[in-house]
Amino acid sequence: MNIVLLGSPGVGKGTYAEKISKIYSIPQISTGDIFREAIKNETKVGLEAKSYMDKGELVPDEVTIKIVKERLEKDDCKNGFMLDGFPRTIAQADALSEISKIDKVLSFVADDEIIIDRLSGRRVCSECGRIFHVKNIPPKIEGICDICEGKLIQREDDKPESIKKRLDVYKKQTAPLIDYYKEKNILAEIDASKPIEKVDEIISDVRKALEE
């Protein structure tokens, strides 16, 4: 099964992606994670992506499409995959349709107020990447990762100026994909406004949508 996760930054795609990927044994392919890894390793792609990401802008389609195409050619994608954070523009969606057939697009929806709270309180482990939230998913010790004891940091693009920019970019460039996939009859809308304790309910809605 080839799945795409769609939804505003902060809607919780990463959290759902991890669970869905386990349930269906398909790799989770997050373009955001691929770019962050490239930045860490100071590769050419990383250097190019960084300037856009820090500002909350999209990395150019050409670069993004190329890395996804290469990733989808790997063996572990043969029995299905899940894209998290791609496509984010109509041009990317058109390119994806040339690369592979998509079975289902899950569109996660929550109000702006919830989104802004999730993004501004989000903290990530600088070592293992695990996600926390100052109120909703607090670590046992403030500022320290429960899993690996790494230091928790705020992503550069989770600072207020970049959050606003990312939400604008989402509305202008990515939200049109909802209609794009609706027209193809492969869109399922999932209510993602429930609090984190109810993440299992969200996942059960996802399973229903995928298995219908």
Does 80 contact Zn ion by CB under 5 A? no
Is residue 155 flagged as an active site residue?
yes
Q: Which stretch binds Zn ion (CB under 5 A): 20-28, 88-96, 122-130, 169-177?
A: 122-130
Report if residue 95 touches ligand ADP, rule: CB under 6 A: no
Binding mask 16-55 for ligand ADP (x = CB under 6 A): ---------------xx--x----------------xx--
Q: Provide the pairing of β-strand 122-125 with 131-133.
A: antiparallel
Strand stretches in the chain, DSSP E: 2-7, 28-30, 81-84, 104-109, 122-125, 131-133, 152-153, 187-191
Q: 185, 190, 188: which is closest to 109 by C-alpha?
A: 190
Q: Is 166 a catalytic residue?
A: yes
85 belongs to the binding site for ligand ADP (CB under 6 A): yes
State the number of binding residues for Zn ion (CB under 5 A): 8
- The answer to whether 122 is a known catalytic residue is yes
For 194, the 3-state DSSP assignment is coil
CB 170 within 8 A of CB 108: no
- Give me the least distance between CB of 38 and ligand ADP, in Å please: 10
The answer to whether 9 contacts ligand ADP (rule: CB under 6 A) is yes
Q: Which residues between 138 and 177 bind Zn ion (CB under 5 A)?
A: 145, 147-148, 150
Cα 96–Cα 101–Cα 105 angle in degrees, nearest 5: 80
47 part of the interface to Zn ion, by CB under 5 A = no
56 binds ligand ADP (CB under 6 A): yes
Q: Which does 128 bind (CB under 5 to 8 A by kind): ligand ADP, Zn ion, none?
A: Zn ion
How far, in Å, CA of 120 to CA of 114, rounded? 10
Could you say whether residue 131 binds Zn ion (CB under 5 A)?
no
| Least distance in angstroms from the C-beta of 194 to ligand ADP | 18
Using an 8 Å Cβ cutoff, are 201 and 142 in contact?
no
Indicate the burial class of 8 (C-beta count within 10 angstroms; 0-12, 13-18, 19 or more). Answer: buried
Return the amino acid letter for 210.
L
Using CB under 6 A as the criterion, which residues of the chain lie in contact with ligand ADP when the complex forms? 9-10, 31-32, 35, 52-53, 56-59, 64, 85-86, 88, 92, 157, 166
- Enzyme catalytic residues: 13, 88, 122, 155, 166
